[in-house]
Amino acid sequence: MEFFACHVATGLNRFGEMLGRKLTQQDVELWTWSLASSGFAVPAPQYLATLQWLQLWSRRVAGWWSEGFDLLLTPTIAEPPVPLGTLVAAPENPSKGLHRMLDLMQFTPPYNVTGQPAISLPLYWNSAGLPIGSQLVAAYGLEDLLLQVAAQLERARPWRDRGPPVSA
């Protein structure tokens, strides 16, 4: 989490540079500011130690495909879609929405870290009409395999004309 917080802090700094001013709490959502504040406080040696651990872990994860696997199938999130407003931060608990989001996102961050190709497909829909995502992950460089399989799945279970009852 601290590693992610450091990246949020860096992102806010970069946006501030593009705007020509330092961003403040009023410029972003409450949980974003809370996370960035944590990131600004992480000492460089701690950040670098975490980065090294993630690099070693990424190599181990990437090695799984060398055992003869083509794709990994996981859910996109850990439970059905949550009601609107669930992830909103409250002033008395700025990180509440963030922690709830992290509970939901167990399956996608590992591949954000490793840089492996992954795709989320809306293959199922719950009784409330909300999509249930299925994530496929491939080995490095096999984006073409993901797109081929996604196209086959879309032909078998079309989702183009489907949408949740509430969307932006």
- Residue 120 near residue 159, CB atoms below 8 Å: no
Question: What integer pLDDT is reported at residue 55 of this predicted model?
Answer: 93
Segment (H or E) for 100: helix 96-104
Question: What integer pLDDT is reported at residue 78 of this predicted model?
Answer: 93
Q: How many angstroms separate the CA atoms of 125 and 131, rounded?
A: 4
Question: What integer pLDDT is reported at residue 89 of this predicted model?
Answer: 80
Q: How many angstroms separate the CA atoms of 100 and 112, rounded?
A: 19
- Residue 1 near residue 102, CB atoms below 8 Å: yes
One pLDDT digit (tens) per residue for the chain, 168 residues: 788 899 999 999 999 999 999 999 999 988 889 889 999 999 999 999 999 999 999 999 988 998 999 999 999 999 988 888 888 888 888 777 778 888 899 999 999 889 999 999 999 998 888 889 999 999 999 999 999 999 999 999 998 888 877 766
Question: What integer pLDDT is reported at residue 168 of this predicted model?
Answer: 67
**Domain-by-domain residue ranges, the chain?**
1-42, 56-156
- Entry pTM: 0.80
